[in-house]
């Protein structure tokens, strides 16, 4: 069963839904109207923190679970949502 958390506070904060599913941690970033995925920046800092930013919006930081395997990070964009998937360690 998936666990889900919504992260959104303030006018210039991105709408992010965080889920834990059986095999991965999934972050769904809903881009605001007019925003371009090309202006998004996604990075993992020291294998413990996911950082998501978009020009004109606050940078958001998410502490990763010790079970996360950030070397296998994958991102896809569809219908205004950037989906970031970080697999769990075996």
- CATH number of domain containing 71: 2.60.40.790
With CA atoms as reference, report the closest residue to 26 among 85, 87, 90. 85
Contact 86, 24 (CB under 8 A): yes
Give dist(CA 42, CA 54) in Å, integer. Answer: 9
Our count of domains for the chain comes to: 1
Range of the domain at 62: 3-87
- Calculate mean pLDDT across residues 41-65: 94
Q: Decide if pLDDT at 65 tops 50.
A: yes
Which candidate, 31, 10, 28, places its Cα nearest to that of 20? 28
What are 1-27's pLDDT values in tens digits?
455 555 555 678 889 999 999 999 999
Q: CB-side exposure of 68: number of CA atoms within 13 Å?
A: 24
Taking only the tens place, the pLDDT of each residue in 66-84 is 999 999 999 999 999 999 9
Q: Is residue 56 very low, low, confident or very high in pLDDT (cuts 50, 70, 90)?
A: confident
Residue 1, pLDDT score = 44
């Amino acid at each position: 069963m998936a666990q889900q958390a919504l992260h959104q506070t303030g006018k210039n904060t991105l709408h992010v839904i965080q889920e834990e599913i059986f095999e991965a941690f999934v972050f769904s970033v809903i881009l605001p109207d007019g925003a371009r995925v090309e202006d998004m920046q996604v990075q993992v800092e020291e294998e413990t923190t996911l950082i998501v930013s978009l020009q004109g919006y606050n940078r958001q930081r998410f502490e990763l679970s010790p079970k996360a395997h950030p070397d296998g990070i994958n991102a896809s964009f569809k219908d205004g949502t950037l989906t970031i998937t970080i697999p769990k360690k075996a």
